[in-house]
Amino acid sequence: MLRTVWRELRPVDWVALAYFGYTTVLALVLPVEQHITVRTLLVNTVVVAFLFSRLLLTRRWHYVVHNFLMLALMLTGYKEMGWFALPHQSTDLEQSWVVWDRWLLDSAHFRAVLESLGPAIPIVLEIAYTLVYATGVISLIFLYAHDEGRKIPAFLFCLLLGTFAAYALFPYFPSEPPRTVFPNEDLPTYRPVFRAFNYWLLGNWGIHTSVFPSAHVSSAFSAAFGLRRFLTRRQWPWRFMAALATLIATSTVYGRYHYLVDALAGFAIAVGAALATRWVAGSR
């Protein structure tokens, strides 16, 4: 019976189990307060129960709801990493990373190019940054709308792997975003209202464990790569998502949400997730 249950788990389930197993270990070994350890264990127990609850579903709409709820695991995993934030006074990493940002923004005139049309491009970039939280939902809608619902578990494998892999590295690169470490430096000329919303969102829901690598970039490009592989009958959805991911990556650096190295590392993780998805999908 137990062997049968384990065989019913999908690759995406194993990704989630591996990640939340990893956070369980972190909660036990890191010098965090006891209530953080207890909270992590309780949340991860609920996550495991949720993953296995799929085996009890009987109707198609149950599976649809379950697939969309799988996206909530990304937010859960993100918040858990925030619980593990430890005090760090050194800004050595940030000081070394910002050198590349200043080369790109100033020496290579990247900021000037983005602002060459006035506030138009900066507004688009801030909107794109906000839309990162909807990329998973948009992707699932694309797949269901094109009658590719059966491929969603494989798509979720790519998306969650690319996202969780970025989260998993946070504890090893304790850092803060450039907008806080260098509050009055390298800032955009234009600050549209959407930027104020993003600041508010990050101020209330952001974490202080690390900014490297950028999970915004890794998750957005993982969604694009996943659509490219599993929505083969239509090209425009993945191209739309790839364009959105590119805008998100650009906004992270221009808007000083992340360093250039964060964005590049996030993209590399997404490529790795796409390659792993190709291997797993090809072996089944």
By mean pLDDT, which of 121-135, 194-208, 211-225, 268-282 is the weakest?
Answer: 194-208
pLDDT at 234 over 90: no
Share of the chain above pLDDT 90, in %: 83
| Mean predicted lDDT score pLDDT of the chain | 94
What are the phi and psi torsion angles at 91 (to 5°)?
Answer: -120, 30
State the pLDDT at residue 106.
96
CB 132 within 8 A of CB 205: no
Distant-in-sequence, close-in-space partners of 22: CB < 8 Å, separation ≥ 6:
168
When computed from its CA atoms, the radius of gyration of the chain, rounded to whole angstroms, is: 19
165-179 average pLDDT score: 96
User: Per residue in 138-163, pLDDT tens?
Assistant: 999 999 999 999 999 999 999 999 99
State the pLDDT at residue 281.
78
Distance CA(109)–CA(100), nearest Å, equals 13
State the pLDDT at residue 89.
81
pTM of this prediction? 0.94
3 state DSSP class of 64:
helix
